[in-house]
Chain A
Amino acid sequence: MRALLRGSELRVDEDPMSELERRRRSGDRLVLLAGLDAERTLYVTSRRDAPFEPLVAAGSQLPDASTLFPAAASYQTEARELWGTRFEGAELDPDPDVRGVFRHQRVTSVGAVWGASEPLPLPAPRVAGEPVVRIPFGPVRDGTVESLLHRFHYLGEHIVELEQQLGYKHRAVEVRLPRSTIEQLPVFAERVSGPNGVAFALATCQAVETACGMTVSPRADALRGIVAELERVYNHFRDIGRLVASTTLRVGAAQAHALQESTQRIGARLTGHRFLRGVVAVGGVRRDLDVSGLAREASRLEVDARAYFEALEATELFIDRLETTGVLGAERALAWGAVGPVGRASGVSIDARRDAPYGAYRDQSFRVPVLEAGDALARFRVRCEEVLISLYLIREFAETLPEGPVRVSAPSSLPDDALALGWSEGVRGDVVALLATDRCGALSRAVLRGGSRHNWPLFPDTVHDSFLMDYAINEASWGLSVASHDR
């Protein structure tokens, strides 16, 4: 694993295409493409046995990588908006679903002028003809949900096109991050995508630890594992609850809310915070946690969860609504490297905990549920399975918790002229943290990429040619975070 690049490795001056082509042929997927500055672009690819391989390409004019990896398109759009990097041949979007990501104005250095004040106007619809009705939905949407714009084009009862505009919640997180101290980094990371804070903080801390060559104690690793799995459980209950609510099964939805609440209260008793914040720190965890009784609570929750999932599986009205709704084909999912439960429901077997094990997962074997159907039902079933597996992992970690210290002290500065990667498996896919330092050791660039950032561009395609009721169910079944995408 080359999660750390130093000095000359950061100044590669070669055509990245031949190397990327080689990786594509050996079955790699694109994890992340990010501009480091106007002159350097980082590609991160991964495959099952050799995960997270970085590659730095120099130059403000680069070949278009989306011909090899379709997922590159939206990252290239972002790099172009942010740094002015030109990707030859990519000016015409290869995928019509990928449109301006954040509409940044061109900048010369991070911390300079970012952003425009108005959302990008959506391009003229590609659907013509008089009976087509356009219905905008957002950015202020129904209920207590995050802001984004979906614009439907209707022909009769059919949605013939869905236009998706994200970026309304763009907070310029990556401008703020480099200004924080090392100690504050996880505090910032926890608040990029609130409900996925543990995974973001974990990825960030692991990047720092890789950069500084720190080793985390086994006890801290296990405690990190416990909070990360608790986070997965309450998020999955929430996403299942939203999905059940979208099929108007009110009683079922209320019971998912209740399970989510129980999980969050277990977390609050354990860590003092409903969103498990303030646990993960650089060098371990902030303070020791008392896990007595946790295994028992996890077992009790597992019994409740199992009974609840069985009741849902036995409700034909519910299952019928999910079957064949919002199908993400396996081929497309694989080509894009769709991550998280969405990918795993479409046959893409990716899980950073197993493929690029870190922390306590290194000595843990567990099943990664993968289904082939790619519809809302498959996504629902993958989440149900993952809840049970996570509860099992919590029990394992709690029962075999090693004794020992929970934190090694963090250095006051990072190594100079370095680029470090950290990752974790978040609730909605792998979370990748990239930290780069300049020649004085100051943080010059920080990128936090959550699973939703990778999956959102795939969503509109699954809505084409469906109905509005299906849209609501489909959208809930993806369970993506907008904050994690918009940053």
Chain B
Amino acid sequence: MFRWIARGLRIGTLTTRFPRKVPEAEALGSPLAALHPQGTERAEALRGASVCPTHAIEVDDEGVTLDLGRCIGCGLCWEQAPASFVEGPSYGLAADHRAGLRIRARWGAAPETPARRTRQAPGVWRRSLHVRHVDAGSDGAVEFELAQLNAPQYDLHRLGVFFTSSPRHADALLVTGPVTSAMAGALRTTFEAMPAPKLVVAAGVDAISGGLWASTEVTAAGVDAVVPVDVYIPGSPPSPLALIDGLLLGSGRRFVALDLERAPLEAGS
């Protein structure tokens, strides 16, 4: 055992300073699309919409809407229509209402950023939030990222967030996957077994809208169809930073989480 402690001491501290700072090396995640900051153009936007496998891009007479709740970050749009779409961030996108994931831009104008606000939540959640995870048909990648939250680099416990086995002990239900028909019952039972007040987090594009597997013969179009969702974390899969950001938003701590103006990129760490 002593050997392991010595090894640990030798390795030193690896833990991120997120959400206080966003070191550049960690900010690399699994990016989603974003609308071009200099404005979008109709023909290009239509081309982007035609290659998008999840119909995340909607074009109308006045402008274009990008739904981050559908975007899987495949990159086809920013590759095929680089003047209207760019590679966007992979975190700091969580929202407490579905419409907060829709980014809108009028032709030629910069995209309108949806208003972010601090969510009202019970005060005790700010210090301790116990999370029950339910996999309702994910592709397995989100589970990798959830497990990585316990890695020394992220160390979720430092923020007072814990994964728990029993739904009776859980404040939050974190769901991944589009909700397959075989998992719908188990998801509902887990939700009902939790004491109130309860927080439901849809993590990843599959959980928000079903993503690529929305509304097949055996899947729903996201968690909303089965249990009411409070916080949406976009991403395919959401990176560990995105998950932390969403959990902090859910527990009413947005004001410390991700404020890019106050958290400048820390280069090279």
Nearest A residue to B27, CB-CB: A268
* B143-175 vs A, Cβ < 8 Å mask (1 yes, 0 no): 111111011111000000001010000000000
Other-chain contact of B4, A142, A169, A251, A277 (Cβ < 8 Å): A251
User: B residues within 8 A CB of A114?
Assistant: 216-218
- Interface majority SS (helix, strand, loop, mixed), chain A: loop
User: B residues within 8 A CB of A426?
Assistant: none
| Contact of B135 with A147 in the complex, beta carbons under 8 Å | yes
Highest count of chain B CB atoms <10 Å: which of A117, A118, A168, A238: A168
| Contact of A184 with B53 in the complex, beta carbons under 8 Å | yes
**Does residue A23 face the partner (Cβ distance < 8 Å to B)?**
no
**Does residue B180 face the partner (Cβ distance < 8 Å to A)?**
yes
Closest Cβ of chain A: how far from B141's Cβ, in Å? 3
| Contact of B212 with A188 in the complex, beta carbons under 8 Å | yes
A311 vs B11: C-alpha distance when bound (angstroms): 14
| Contact of B30 with A172 in the complex, beta carbons under 8 Å | no
**Does residue B84 face the partner (Cβ distance < 8 Å to A)?**
no
* A257-290 vs B, Cβ < 8 Å mask (1 yes, 0 no): 1101100110011001111011000000011000
Closest Cβ of chain B: how far from A411's Cβ, in Å? 17
A2 vs B88: C-alpha distance when bound (angstroms): 43
**Does residue B142 face the partner (Cβ distance < 8 Å to A)?**
yes
A401 vs B5: C-alpha distance when bound (angstroms): 40
Given A191-B212, A275-B30, A254 and B151 contact (CB-CB distance below 8 Å): yes
User: A residues within 8 A CB of B145?
Assistant: 274
Other-chain contact of B28, A116, A140, A268, A314 (Cβ < 8 Å): A268
Given A146-B140, A192-B139, A258 and B153 contact (CB-CB distance below 8 Å): yes
**Does residue B252 face the partner (Cβ distance < 8 Å to A)?**
no
Closest Cβ of chain B: how far from A167's Cβ, in Å? 6
**Does residue A409 face the partner (Cβ distance < 8 Å to B)?**
no
Closest Cβ of chain B: how far from A321's Cβ, in Å? 14
- Interface majority SS (helix, strand, loop, mixed), chain B: mixed
A482 vs B145: C-alpha distance when bound (angstroms): 16
| Contact of B135 with A191 in the complex, beta carbons under 8 Å | no
User: A residues within 8 A CB of B133?
Assistant: 143-144
Given A147-B183, A272-B87, A275-B30, A261 and B135 contact (CB-CB distance below 8 Å): no
Highest count of chain A CB atoms <10 Å: which of B7, B136, B148, B211: B148
Interchain Cβ contacts under 8 Å between A and B, 12 examples: A114-B217, A140-B134, A168-B180, A175-B216, A197-B141, A251-B4, A251-B5, A252-B4, A261-B14, A274-B239, A277-B73, A278-B75
Interface residues of A (CB under 8 A from B): 113-119, 139-140, 142-147, 167-173, 175-176, 180, 183-184, 187-188, 191-197, 238, 241-242, 249, 251-252, 254-255, 257-258, 260-261, 264-265, 268-269, 272-275, 277-278, 286-287, 307, 311, 314-315, 481-484, 486
- List 12 additional contacts besides A168-B182, A191-B139; criterion CB under 8 Å: A115-B181, A117-B181, A140-B186, A143-B163, A143-B165, A147-B136, A147-B186, A184-B51, A194-B139, A257-B150, A287-B79, A483-B139
